[in-house]
Each structure stands twice: as C-alpha cells, then as structure tokens.
Amino acid sequence: MVKSSFTLFETLLSIVLLSLVVVGFIKYSYYDNFDEEFNSLNKIENSFNKKNYTHNFTNSSKDIQVFINETQIKEISVKEIKYKDEKTKLIKYEIN
C-alpha cells in the first residue's frame, strides 16, 4: 500500500523546522540594528543642534569663495565641524 498523507510526527517535525528557519532569519536580520543606528544618528543630530561637540568632532576654520551671478566673488569665513566614527562621517559648516 502506498502512503499518500503525512503522519502527525512528520507534520510536527515540519512545523518545528520551519519555525527554526523563521526565527533564524528574524534573529540575524539586517533590520535588528536599525534601532541602534537610529539612536546613534539621533545623538549626533542632537549634538549638532545643541553645538555640544564631543571627542568624535573636529573643528576648523576655512575661507570659501561663493560665486554670485558668475561675475561676483564673495569670500566667506566658515567654521567646519566634522564627525567621524567607524560607520558615519558628517560635515557641517557654520558661518562665522
């Protein structure tokens, strides 16, 4: 006689294996680090807004030239603030 249906044991085994695969994808998914990266970017944004620059920031002054109507050149002194860590690099310019 040919067996054509699953037994209870085979059904339970299939469900367990499928749930292990799903849990594995959820646990090691790329999106797990999404909250951590969002919090990191939020802290950097708050530091920029409050002008509270910590050890990961570097400050320097620069003079830049701005072209107006392709004929006038205006020189502006700006403050360059850089943030750099292993994942993120940001630059902000403030007019002095």
Query: What are 36-62's pLDDT values in tens digits?
Result: 778 888 888 888 888 887 777 888 999
Tell me what percent of the chain is helix, strand and coil, each rounded to the nearest 5: 45, 35, 25
When the pLDDT of each residue in the chain is averaged and rounded to a whole number, the result is 82
**Interatomic CA distance for residues 51 and 3, integer angstroms:** 73
pLDDT at residue 53, as a whole number: 79
Give the integer Cα–Cα distance in Å for 90 and 96: 19
pTM of whole model > 0.95?
A: no
In the predicted model, is pLDDT for residue 18 greater than 60?
Answer: yes
- Token digits for 37? 């990266």
The per-residue pLDDT for 15 is 93
Domain ranges of the chain: 7-52, 55-96
Residue showing tokens 């970017």: 41
